[in-house]
Amino acid sequence: MHRTIAQAVRRPPAPDGVAGDAAQRPAGPVDPGWPSPAGSSARPAWVQVWFTSAMRDILLPYLADLGERWQAGTASIAAEHFASTLIPGRLAGLARGWGSGHGPQALLACPPGELHDIPLMIFGIVLNRNGWRIGYLGPSTPVEELARAAATSHPDPVVLAATVPETLEQVRPELTSLARRVPLALAGAGATPQTASATGARLMTRDPVTEAEQTRWPQ
């Protein structure tokens, strides 16, 4: 008993994805009372809380503010490059390995012509931290490619994110057909209740972090 406590004090469970001595890492929490989020045996809950709060309370408001400055013509070119290059690059680092594992798979993409994929990446990273495997097709994905990927990997759900309604509207017939074959969800400012109901897709109305946290594993 003393030995177990001493070991626990010396070597607390390493968060998933954090370098550590894998051979010595405990298979699960040392203490059954250890608070870890669903789908993660060892990552402490506070690591998850820090991450989701950094996304929801810092990054998303920053992007909204940047958009306003952009529209007002007061954002610098450096700020634009930061948003279009550095932020996605940093998120890609956090997304490393999100396609592997044994959890259910979600397939994420933006419709043709849509380049705003930062929120979709955030959504995928939070889902992955809750045990999901992520198939990521990214910005401006042809619907035929999306349908092909869905047919081979059987994801549940497929999530399409768009900033303007036109990018989804222009592929409405293809989305209607896709929604008959796989559970389809639409998200982002361009996903309207009209497009969702016309295509038979579910509408995600909340921010990417909250939606990912609320997405339940398929039964």
Window of 8-16, 80-88, 94-102, 125-133 that interacts with ligand B12 by CB under 6 A: 80-88
Q: How far apart are CA 110 and CA 39, in angstroms?
A: 26
Judged by beta carbon, residue 42 or residue 118, the one nearer ligand B12 is 118
Determine if 63 is a binding residue for ligand B12 (CB under 6 A).
yes
Each residue 184-203 as x (binds ligand B12 by CB under 6 A) or -, in order, gives: ---xxx--------------
Burial class of residue 32 in the structure, from the number of CB atoms within 10 Å of its CB (0-12 exposed, 13-18 middle, 19+ buried): exposed
Shortest Cβ 198–ligand B12 spacing (Å): 19
Whole-number Cα distances in Å, 177 to 96, 144, 173, 188, 199: 32, 11, 6, 21, 8
- Radius of gyration in angstroms for the set of CA atoms belonging to the chain, rounded to a whole number: 19
Determine if 82 is a binding residue for ligand B12 (CB under 6 A).
no
The dihedral of CA 110, 121, 147, 194: what is its sign? negative
Tell me the three state secondary structure of residue 114. Answer: coil
The dihedral of CA 70, 74, 76, 82: what is its sign? negative
Binds ligand B12 by CB under 6 A, chosen from 55, 83, 134, 184: 83
Binds ligand B12 by CB under 6 A, chosen from 118, 127, 146, 168: 118
Binds ligand B12 by CB under 6 A, chosen from 14, 30, 60, 92: 60
Both tokens of 40, joined, read 């993660």
Determine if 135 is a binding residue for ligand B12 (CB under 6 A).
no
Binding-site ranges for ligand B12 (CB under 6 A):
60, 63-64, 66-67, 70-71, 80, 83-84, 88, 113-120, 123, 159, 161, 163-164, 187-189, 204, 207-208, 211
